[in-house]
Amino acid sequence: MAFLAVRTLIVLMLISTFAKAANKYDYLQLVQQWPKTFCHNNRACIQGAVLPELFSIHGMWPSNFSGQNDACVGTRFSMREMRRHNHLETQLLSSSWPSYTGLSNLHFWEYEYNKHGTCSENNLKQTDYFTRADALWRRYNVTNMLLTSRHQISPGSSYRYADILYAIRQGIGGYTPLILCKQDPANNIWILHEVIICFNPLGNNVIACRRRSRYSCNSGLIDYPK
């Protein structure tokens, strides 16, 4: 009897250790994308759709400074849970986190949540996760940071990488963001694609993004398409 109890205890301890380890990450990346660039040369995009001239969420990714990136385990996305929070779905996320492809918004969120969101489940359950991402998008308005910066960076022109970086940095308290580009091989230009702001694991404080991305923009002129 005592032996069985000890064995049960050990199994329980192992399970809880595993569950914790599976939910470990150092920081969150809030990835915002410029719709026009996302759809540049992208056949998944709905052709002829009118794209908003606003950065919108691509995803919010629990990440490690080491770069270690494990498949997330955790409770899968629940459509029912999302539908129970009708306001979140129809009023908030539909503008902060829209899909530009044939994938519906719900399926886009489901994909992102199952791939990334479940990694932070210990801190942010599904509804908290989406509510937090939406709130960060509203608070850290990249479109507005660019527009109101010294160089009044607005779509339809090209800007120096340093000026784009400066604008975002100013907007987030001096921390380093990541600025990602698509390269157009046809005319060898860099196109502003995504801006990543990094946060502590709970998503309530900006921190510096310490890892570079292989999609980081080259210094030089960057096209911000309209």
Ligand X SMILES: *[C@@H]1O[C@H](CO)[C@@H](O)[C@H](O)[C@H]1NC(C)=O
- Where along the sequence are the contacts to ligand X (CB under 6 A)? 21-22, 24-25, 62-64, 68-70, 119, 138, 141, 143-144, 147
Residue 137's closest CA among 197, 85, 205, 214? 197
Q: At closest approach, how far in Å is the CB of 148 from ligand X?
A: 7
Active-site residue, 85 included: no
Which residue, 101 or 123, has its beta carbon nearer to ligand X?
123
The answer to whether the CB of 161 falls within 8 A of the CB of 217 is yes
Which residue, 12 or 19, has its beta carbon nearer to ligand X?
19
Selected catalytic residue, list 40, 53, 58, 107: 58
Residue 191's closest CA among 214, 158, 150? 158
Which residue, 25 or 100, has its beta carbon nearer to ligand X?
25
Q: At closest approach, how far in Å is the CB of 226 from ligand X?
A: 14
Alpha carbon distances (Å) from 186 to 97, 100, 181, 189: 30, 23, 15, 8
Selected catalytic residue, list 116, 121, 193, 194: 116
Q: What is the rounded CA–CA span in Å between residue 180 and residue 218?
A: 9
Active-site residue, 58 included: yes
- Residue with CB nearest ligand X? 144
Selected catalytic residue, list 87, 107, 110, 112: 112
Active-site residue, 194 included: no
Q: At closest approach, how far in Å is the CB of 150 from ligand X?
A: 15
Alpha carbon distances (Å) from 85 to 58, 80, 108, 127: 21, 9, 17, 8
Which residues have C-beta within 8 Å of that of residue 200, sequence separation ≥ 6? Answer: 27, 28, 207
Active site residues: 58, 112, 116
